Amino acid sequence: MSNAKLYLFVYNAAQVLGWSIILIKTVFGLMEGLKWKDLYESVQLEVEIFQTAAILEVLHSVLGLVRSPLGTTLMQVSSRLALVWPILHVASSSRHSLGVPLLLLAWSITEVIRYSFYALSLFNSVPYFIIWLRYTTFIVLYPTGVTGELLTLFAGLPEIGREKYYTLEMPNPANMGISLWWLLFLASFTYIPGFPQLYFYMFSQRKKVLGTEPEKKKQ
């Protein structure tokens, strides 16, 4: 086994473990009837660690360790990080949103499946049921996650605007203004072209993969 393959396996396996912990804690939190804010705070450390670690996937793409397109990887990772850090970490009001359980469930289930798929793909030993989950669960989980992300974002905007988090107002020595509120508000519009493009791309991939995989399995 090459060093690169070993590294990728360890990375993906660690992500499977991390997101499995998040999923289990989220499910038990929901069963216990935790408030959305308490639910998020029960997994906040794990979410911040393992979602931030996804920055490495951008580097993997740049270095050619994986075949994932750099642009798509960068967009997906940055949108998640925007939710985790300047919104959920900073604006406590965002944690009261219904979007919190939606995104936690969608993210954790998706990532457990995705990283399991990647880890096993390194050895060409992905079971068919994981392939099926990888190219089927997105039908529900992707719109659920996007809905959760937008609800959480909009729940945090009033506090971000009121408290002026990460805002640089004029006049100042730099002679420029920066508003996190406006950056996040404008970023929300990227979901309009981004969601259908990625969603229907996954449908095309599903047809391509699941249309041939059962035949391969029979051989």
* Measured distance CA(68)–CA(192) in Å, rounded: 22
Contact 11, 49 (CB under 8 A): no
- 193 is in which domain, residue-wise? 3-218
Q: Which residues does residue 178 pair with via DSSP β-bridges, in sequence order?
A: 168
| pLDDT at site 158 | 97
**8-42 pLDDT, tens digit each:** 999 999 999 999 999 999 999 999 999 999 999 99
Contact 46, 18 (CB under 8 A): yes
Query: In total, how many domains does the chain have?
Result: 1
Contact 192, 180 (CB under 8 A): no
Q: Tell me the C-alpha to C-alpha distance, in Å, between residue 35 and each of 38, 41, 49, 133.
A: 5, 10, 22, 30
* Measured distance CA(18)–CA(15) in Å, rounded: 5
**What percentage of the chain has pLDDT greater than the value 90?**
83
**123-136 pLDDT, tens digit each:** 999 999 999 999 99
Which residues are tagged catalytic? 142, 149
Which of the 8 DSSP states describes residue 176?
-
Q: Is the pTM value of this prediction over 0.85? A: yes
